[in-house]
Chains A and B, each alone.
Chain A
């Protein structure tokens, strides 16, 4: 076995993330690649949350898939919610003290979820208590690891000074210990994971001892049936990061020295990561100032103000926050101020699905604002791209003196992956046209070229205004000046068209002479990678064309592919309107007619993408995906 998909489920705030982190670190320490997506409610404590992960010994996995081989459940709700996700021969770790728990008694189950589960149970002729469900699963090829969490925790209390109230925190350790046993993780690697999480002291000791106790117990009855083959690839030096983390890292490398924000899910963690590392290791390499504002109006406009002083600056936000930022974005466009907006898409409109993912803000990123001004829109498909896009966004903003929107999404933000360390010898910084000692005749908005030499506040007498202005930055309403300065600003789009190479705008993966061409962007990339492999097994050759910049748009590549494969091109996106296909028609004059769309707020899984492609090949024009709790 080269790869293992698993689920860990439990109540929000119950330690699930600890289990997930420790297992990820342990797998990575053992030389495997890991990816794990966290799905959770907009809630602090109590609602159902789960981790969907994949471990792989051949490559650093990018995709998530169902069914899974292992379900580690902290509570009854996790088993009820996820038993349909299980593969044949899968293992379920559960709390046998809860056998009599009935689905309808669990208050945290959303009524709509409960009804769906009840329907399934009814079809299977299974009573709605956990014991009956587990019995059914056992009879149908699922391996049940029944543990009395109560007994285990009282054993823990007997051996340590832990009081009952604290003991429940150790349920996450039961999940770690049992999963480690079934997956045959090297005990040293588990110890490494726990030590990273708990550092030192009695809490670490208790966790180490308790995990070992559970591991030995499970090993004695079940062995390690899910043990992976030794890793086949050597991935080199790895780090484990969320999407939020790696964007922060890219920004630090790319010279970001000031970030503004207002708290919003799923963007805020990035600003925390930056703040945590604000002293840049006390290395003399400078520092980074994170400035929390009172709202996103404050965040974007403070960022733009800061940009005028010469600092590389960004604001991080999500949909509702971006909406508030749009007027500021226009000011930045009008005043040729380099500013980066890192835009973490979530499910909209309005508050929408604050903790779920989506790709429904593409059109808004490209078109938002009154008036016309140049901007660039980059979109990241995985952690590696997010790192380099963060660097590039800062470069592009200064090279062209424009606002740059860097689109990421909740899927990426909250997905933890093992990635190789970026090779920083490739990290270039281009600050564009800067004048350090402006002369007496210096004009900030000189008509000489679309991108004027830029002086910073404090260096020359400068005027900026959101009103239409002359070369000096003073308000002018005269018509000829209006045309001149509009042309000057808008011509940046032509420059960008000329200077940003096609290979920076788009990547093409998969088979040559394909039977089907998937057209996607953002987090679709991982699922497309997985689906291409699965389709190959079915004898279908698939290509994936992955858009990395929407402004500028990869018109040439899309038109070339369209001319050859128009009838088998499928747009794949996490939105309703197929927004990237709308842009293909707007910017490349091609009409992609077939679509695979998902807007549940959950990511596209490679297995469901493969199945959907097969359906399209059999004649469907549109498949809407719905898998995932």
Chain B
């Protein structure tokens, strides 16, 4: 069945209760458009979120939505994807969620290269709790919500994703919806763990990282001639991408930093061990027949032969 859905068909009836002008609106629009252009079946897309403003994203989408705990969006998403690799899983979580309380999960996903998309709403503050410093806020900065300047350094999300093993690493900006939509599409189409760092102004608490601030600084990596594709060994490209992510100056690169389609995905690794994994993943297993277990006495003795006397 070919689906012909309009972007608005992916919009739920729930009122979007973000602050007027919130950077999240651009992200949401880009998602509606990306899903429509890829003709994705809403029941096969699972949007998993953490806590905070970005955590509400699934409720605004007419696709499967799983709004989880603070910091734990990734494990939920991974459990869903490993159990049912047919589902298209996208995580929407904040910078505090992914790089603060859930940073361990962020690193671990890269090691697995599970085929899913991680969209980080990067607004430098914990907005829903009224604007405390997030792990992406640079030291010395004092958005208006902070009583004192921030004394903790910012983590570099792009470099961390690269070091963790994500095989698609990009940065988008919610003020450039069309560009962001293309990044989301590319991330969905990538086989492996894709990370999108999405710059997103918090119009209520962060008076530094505003639309004007970003509009003056962002430039398109691909337009500048940067090639993100891994052609041979991945390490030189990882090094180049990390260097790019640390680029000093008043410019902020957006676009694809790194893409490597050659790393086996987690489902391929599982398939190596369990040949039937893809045709018969955990979610589709038949476990009973007429209310009885499918494990017969004979099969039990075969599986656990090494324990029998």
Contacts and interface: CB of A to CB of B under 8 A. Distances in A.
Nearest to A463: B65
B276 A424 contact: no
A474 interface: yes
B58 to A, nearest CB: 6
B75 A297 contact: yes
Chain A: interface residue count, which band? 35 or more
B48 A287 contact: no
B284 to A, nearest CB: 8
B69 A421 contact: no
A461 B9 CA distance: 13
Interface stretch (B119-127, B140-148, B210-218, B294-302): B294-302
A457 B46 contact: yes
Interface stretch (A111-119, A216-224, A310-318): A310-318
Interface in B51-93: 51, 56, 58-59, 62-69, 71-72, 74-80, 82-84, 86-87
A459 B63 CA distance: 11
B7 interface: no
A297 B71 contact: yes
A471 interface: no
Contact of B66 (A279, A308, A459, A461): A308
Contact of B69 (A287, A295, A328): A328
B62 A302 contact: no
Contacts of B62: 461
Interface of A: 25, 28-29, 237-241, 245, 249, 252-255, 257-258, 260, 277-281, 283, 285-289, 291, 293-295, 297-313, 327-328, 331, 391, 418, 421-425, 427-431, 456-467, 473-475
A238 B286 CA distance: 28
B14 interface: yes
Nearest to A189: B309
Given A311-B83, A464-B66, A286 B294 contact: yes
B309 to A, nearest CB: 5
Contacts of B304: 239, 249, 277
Contacts of B302: 281, 283
Nearest to A339: B79
Contacts of B239: none
B285 interface: yes
A313 B283 CA distance: 10
A260 B297 contact: no
B80 A306 contact: yes
14 contacts: A239-B304, A240-B307, A280-B303, A283-B299, A287-B285, A289-B83, A303-B79, A304-B79, A305-B75, A306-B83, A311-B282, A313-B282, A428-B292, A466-B67
Given A240-B309, A255-B288, A286-B287, A461 B42 contact: yes
B277 A304 contact: no
A428 B293 CA distance: 6
Given A286-B287, A304-B76, A305-B78, A427 B65 contact: no
A475 B60 CA distance: 11
Interchain residue pairs A-B with the least CB separation, the first 8: A305-B79, A255-B287, A302-B79, A305-B76, A429-B288, A306-B83, A465-B67, A301-B75
Contacts of A295: 104
Nearest to B87: A458
Nearest to A235: B309
Given A283-B299, A331-B69, A430-B291, A309 B84 contact: yes
Contacts of A240: 307, 309
Nearest to A279: B274
Contacts of A303: 79
Given A302-B79, A428-B291, A461-B64, 18 more contacts: A239-B307, A241-B307, A257-B282, A278-B273, A280-B303, A285-B295, A288-B282, A294-B105, A297-B104, A305-B75, A307-B79, A309-B282, A425-B292, A457-B80, A458-B87, A460-B43, A466-B68, A474-B59
Given A257-B287, A312-B287, A327-B69, A293 B108 contact: yes
Best-surrounded residue of B62, B295, B300 (most CB of chain A within 10 A): B295
A298 B66 CA distance: 16
B308 interface: yes
Nearest to A27: B309
B44 interface: yes
Given A260-B79, A289-B82, A474 B14 contact: yes
Contact of A464 (B65, B293, B295, B301): B65
Nearest to B294: A285
A328 B292 contact: no
Contact of B72 (A279, A306, A328, A427): A328
Interface residues of B, number: 67
A424 B297 contact: yes
A298 B102 CA distance: 9
Contacts of A28: 309
Nearest to B84: A309
B280 A475 contact: no
Contacts of A462: 64-65
Contacts of B69: 301, 327-328, 331, 466
A457 to B, nearest CB: 5
Given A305-B66, A305-B80, A278 B274 contact: yes
Nearest to A301: B75
Nearest to A462: B64
A327 B44 CA distance: 28
A331 B68 contact: yes
Given A252-B303, A428-B292, A309 B76 contact: no
Contacts of A327: 69, 72
Contacts of B281: 289
A258 B282 CA distance: 6
B82 A306 contact: yes
B282 A293 contact: no
Given A249-B304, A306-B83, A29 B309 contact: yes
A281 B107 CA distance: 34
Nearest to B299: A283
B163 interface: no
Contacts of A467: 67
A465 B274 contact: no
Contacts of B42: 461
Nearest to B17: A475
A465 B67 CA distance: 4
Contacts of B44: 458
Given A253-B295, A305-B80, A466-B68, A287 B59 contact: no
B87 A289 contact: no
B234 to A, nearest CB: 22
A294 B293 CA distance: 32
A258 B82 contact: yes
Nearest to B102: A297
Contacts of A421: 297, 300-301, 308
A430 B58 CA distance: 31
Contacts of B287: 255, 257, 286, 312, 429, 431
A300 B285 CA distance: 21
B88 to A, nearest CB: 10
Contacts of A237: 308-309
B66 to A, nearest CB: 5
A461 B43 contact: yes
B151 interface: no
